[in-house]
Each structure stands twice: as structure tokens, then as C-alpha cells.
Amino acid sequence: MIRVFDLLISFLALVLLFPFFLVMAILILLDSRGGVFYLQSRVGRNNRDFRLIKFRTMKKDSDRQGQLTIGSSDQRITATGRFLRKYKLDELPQLVNVLKGDMSLVGPRPEVRKYVDLYTEEQRSVLNVRPGITDYASLEYFEENDLLAASPDPEKTYIERIMPAKLELNRKYLEDRGPGTYFRILGKTMVRIFR
């Protein structure tokens, strides 16, 4: 049932948002060198890697300086990228990942392999479902980048404090994955973005 909702909503959203995608593509290309999209390997369902699609929000090859984004003032973020990140619009191309079946609209956010390798056996249960564009952890840690910016050691803060808390929220989702939870999280996400 959830897969049917994923297909219908993501297809309609991509059709309706196509003009917006074109405008964003032009702005991204005018703002800095590099492509429109950023592809990153993430870990999905059944511990399989897939290519996650986002609008590019950073200068070319910025991920070589580290995978964590440290605050909204991170110098690697472009002017257009700052706007896209503020309203989470850089995530919209993941609707293609949803159509392909790599992701769902709602589910645990997919992580990079580097951090998944640190999961405990219990935490790996989040890999039993399709990862999502939004979830309880996305709502709770909406301003995650700013939390990391305030830390003297962002990497350590992420690994020891933020990541375990997010995984605990993901496990809460696993316990109650019905259509009601799906639409509740989607609704809360839309309210949070527009607020």
C-alpha cells in the first residue's frame, strides 16, 4: 500500500514541480561551476548501496573536504545552495529515487557507508526497510547543521550524540509503519518546511 502512495505522490510531484526544477537548474549553473545534481552513494534497504540524487548546493568537489556540512555558514555552500538547504528543496530530486524504488517518501534517512559501518546489530534493523526522504529524525533534527556548527568536534558530536538519537527515532518508526504514520510524518514535514 505504501509503495502505491510513493509512486502516485512522487510522480505527481515531479510533474507539477518540473518548471521549478528548470528554474533551480539555471540558478545552480549560473551560481557556480559544476553540474545541477549531486550524486552520493548511500546505504539503502538490505544494506545495499544506491546513488542518492540531490540538487548540488556546494562548490565542485567540496565533499573531499569532509562529508558533514557544518552550519549554514559553511564556506563550501553556494548562494543558491544556501536557499535550497534552508527550505530543504535540495532534497526534491530524491523523488526520482522514490520512483526507482531506492527510497520511500517516509522512512529512515539513508546514511553514508562510513557511518553505517558504526551501527550496532540492533541499529542495523533500520536497513530492513526502504530509506525515506523524511522521517521522525528529520523533523527532530531539522537544524542539524547548526547543531554541528556549535560543536568543537562536529564529527564526534554526530557519531556519539546525534546519530544514536536519530537511529532511536528510526526504530520508533519501524514499530508503527502504517499509512497513518506515513501521512502524519509527511504532513508534519510540510508544516515544518513552510513554517
The pLDDT of residue 174? 93
Q: How far apart are CA 3 and CA 194, in angstroms?
A: 26
The pLDDT of residue 61? 72
The pLDDT of residue 149? 78
The pLDDT of residue 193? 83
Q: How far apart are CA 185 and CA 195, in angstroms?
A: 15
Task: Please report, for the chain, the start and end positions of each structural domain, with discontinuous segments joined by +.
Answer: 2-194
Are 108 and 170 in contact by the 8 Å Cβ rule? The answer is: yes
DSSP letter (8 states) at residue 160: I
The pLDDT of residue 69? 59
The pLDDT of residue 64? 67
The pLDDT of residue 66? 61
87-to-6, 73, 98, 142 alpha-carbon distances in Å: 21, 15, 20, 10
The pLDDT of residue 71? 56
Q: Considering Cα of 73, then 75, then 81, then 83, what sign does the dihedral take? A: positive
pTM of the predicted model, to two decimals? 0.89
Averages of pLDDT over runs of 10 residues in the chain (195 residues) are: 96 97 96 93 98 93 64 79 91 97 97 96 96 95 83 90 95 92 95 84
